[in-house]
Structure 1
Amino acid sequence: MNRSALPSLALSLLTTAALAEGGFYGDPPDKTHPWAIHDMNRPQPPRVEPGTFSSQEQPGRPPSDAVVLFSGKPEEIEKWISDKNGEPTKWVVKDGALQCVPGSGYIRTKEEFGDCQLHIEWSAPSKVEGNSQGRGNSGVFLMGAVEVQVLDNYNNPTYADGFASSIYGINPPAANPLRAPGEWQVYDIVFRKPVFKDGQEIDPGYITVFVNGVLTQDHTPFEGGGGHMRRSKAKAFPEKGPLKIQDHGNPVRFRNIWYRPLPKRAVEGGEYSRMSEEATAAKRAEIAKGIREDAAKLEGNAKMLRFFESLCYDENAEAREFATAAVNDFAKAMTAVPADKLESKKGEILQVAKALRYLAQWQFLPADFAPKADLEAIIKVQDWEPKPKKK
């Protein structure tokens, strides 16, 4: 077999096995988790075609869902404006790079966004001039507020909280993985803005940074946003803001700039594994409604089991009434089948019995539920229970 086909085959077999288990498999939903463990009702992750890695000669390709802010085309300068007055920027596009024109001021995107995965590549001048903060200095400002420092720190010491990939004025990087001046440096950033509710901070926000594939900021919390010389304090951020790039007097170049918006966190009502009880109850009701709608399109045992499955998320009198009547009919029909004909019904009986065991175990049905007892009796007489393996 072709080895490259193995992952796809494994996924196919795993999916088939999970589907065969139905909704009666892992621990059910609870007060803060709207989904069961290994829940096939949980939405599948959206497909994103991955991008390609950059080389020194050629920038990589962004993933398919990225919003491209600069890819090297001269006309993309139109996506950026002067931060000072909102007029067209004096920065230039040269050899596929967006280059700072010293003295022209910061630039910012017309596009505004919040939580994101940001990719940006930069290159300090190959001719080394200056030292400390005077050498290859710029900065990337998320939402125009939080600076990830850009600085040529290749054999160039400076104050630690102003080092390349520091959260400026807040936290130094954990390492210095910079390449030599003139080479391209790659920043991959995960940005989460602070969250306030009723004037109180409920999530300080955080930032994670990889430089040339090396982790330099590990879920670093914000302290307001950072700044020069003065300690910043916690503050609320707007919903969206621009990306700014600093003019610090050095002709630093940038390329391959793109971002991916990120979904809401749990504290913002996002669909994460742990939610408030109120949000969880609402989500469970929504899931149950969808399962009932799906069940209505089915027939036979599949319809019955799907209605039973919906009860694991939210109680519904009509769903319970239908499923209970259907399983009563099924159990009566199976008990009427002659013993020598039961083998052909083995799969159906075991499938329904497994579901009823699960529902009784988690108290969605009473332990003495009559159809369950009838099917268990058939299974016992037919000796269908799996035998323990011999040691």
Structure 2
Amino acid sequence: MNKSFCLVLAMALPATQLFAQAKPEDTEYYTPVPAVVTPGATNSMPPSDAVVLFDGSNLDQWESANDTTQAAGWNVHDGIMTVSKTAGNIRTKQSFSNYQLHIEYRIPADITGSGQARGNSGVFLASTGSGDSGYELQVLDNYNNKTYVNGQAGSIYKQSPPLVNACKKPGEWQSYDVIWTAPLFNADGSLQSPARVTVLHNGVLVQNNFALLGPTLYIGKPAYTHAHGPSPIKLQAHGDKSEPISYRNIWVRPL
């Protein structure tokens, strides 16, 4: 039987007969087995493998961002922590690369001001130095407050506006759920792959795997000019009419 005849015969056979030897098991595998993680009682509560950064009792997981030899100076009361303008920014003692983050915040019901001077704070997803250096997810009251769209709540500040405005009223607790992929750098310090972030604001998708252009800059265009590794998470004390913004229920799952 020549090769041409065999090829014609194979083409004429039904697919079920031609691949009769294939089995469902051929595309099934059983290892490695995923680790068991016990979810929290609600989606906002920490799962069993989370690092709890704030449970309402103390700031043991935090330090001053301006002077890391000093304790975090924010106020802890009634299960929440409140921004202290005089104490400045705080950051986690532990550094992280890729992670899942949950954090809740509340802007006072009687907040005053407008634009950027209305409940201004920020979650720096990786703090790469002192001051306000790093990659900022904006915290602001935009329930009924206009500002530049890449500076409103849910934005990656000065880079990417939120897909939608999902803000609640001042006085209500709000949440961010973040998937952070840290940037990678080559041995010579050049960028290998940019940071990426997905953010849900109050359960609504506002950033969808956005590739950051670099760390946050208030003036100028962002760029990756300094290589870095795992970094702390930082919370901002903005210093204007932003206080007293409060935070609670903060946890992170390294990925």
Calculate percent identity across the aligned residue pairs. 42
Higher-Rg member (1/2)? 1
Write the distance in 1 (CA, Å) between the matches of 2:110 and 2:195. 37
Work out which of the residue numbers 244, 248, 252 in structure 2 matches 1:255: 248
Give the whole-Å Cα distance in 1 for the aligned partners of 2:24 and 2:193: 36
Runs of 4+ in 1 over 3 A off after TM superposition: none
**1:220 aligned partner:** 210
Secondary structure of the residue aligned to 1:230 is coil
Kept after mapping to 2: 8 A contact 1:195/1:236 = no
- Relative to 1, partners in 2 of residues 1:157 and 1:53: Cα closer, same or farther, differing over 3 Å? farther
Alignment TM-score, normalising by the size of structure 2:
0.82
TM-score, structure 1 as length reference: 0.54
Q: CA RMSD in A?
A: 1.7
Counterparts of 1:50 and 1:79, CA distance in 2: 22
Question: Which of these residues, 162, 175, 184, is aligned with residue 195 of structure 1?
Answer: 184
Q: Which amino acid aligns with 1:84?
A: N
Q: 1:246 aligns with which of 229, 233, 236?
A: 236
Task: Report the AA paired with residue 25 of structure 2.
Answer: Y
Post-superposition offset of 1:25 = 3.1
Looking at secondary structure, tell me which structure has more strand per residue. Answer: 2
SS of aligned partner of 2:60:
helix
| Aligned counterpart, 1:89 | 72
2: CA distance, partners of 1:53 / 1:152:
26
Shift of 1:45: 1.1
Matched residues in 1 for 2:59 and 2:169: separation?
27
Question: 1: CA distance between counterparts of 2:95 and 2:191?
Answer: 23
* Cα separation, 1, equivalents of 2:93 and 2:103: 17
**Equivalent residue, structure 2, for 1:330:** none
Structure 1 gap segments, 5+ residues each: 1-22, 27-36, 55-59, 263-391
CA gap of 1:237–1:185, structure 2 versus 1, over 3 A, is farther
> Which of residues 126, 133, 143 in structure 2 aligns to 1:143?
126
Cα offset, 1:237, TM superposition: 4.3
Higher relative contact order (CA 8 A, sep 6+): 2
- TM-superposed deviation, 1:236: 5.4
Q: How many residues are paired up? A: 222
Counterpart position of 2:158: 169
Counterpart Cα distance in 2 of 1:213 and 1:132 = 24
The structural deviation recorded for 1:261 is: 0.5
Shift of 1:104: 2.1
Q: Is the contact between residue 206 and residue 219 of structure 1 (CA under 8 Å) also seen in structure 2?
A: yes
Contact 1:187 1:211 in 2 (8 A): yes
Q: Deviations over 1:294-335 (max 9, x none)?
A: xxxxxxxxxxxxxxxxxxxxxxxxxxxxxxxxxxxxxxxxxx
> Which of the two has greater helix per residue?
1
The answer to whether the aligner puts 1:186 opposite 2:170 as a matched pair is: no
How far did 1:217 drift? 0.1
Partner of 2:114: 131
- The equivalent residue for 1:159 is 148
Whether contact under 8 Å (2:185, 2:192) holds in the other structure is yes
Corresponding residue for residue 92 of structure 2: 109
Partner SS state of residue 112, structure 1: coil
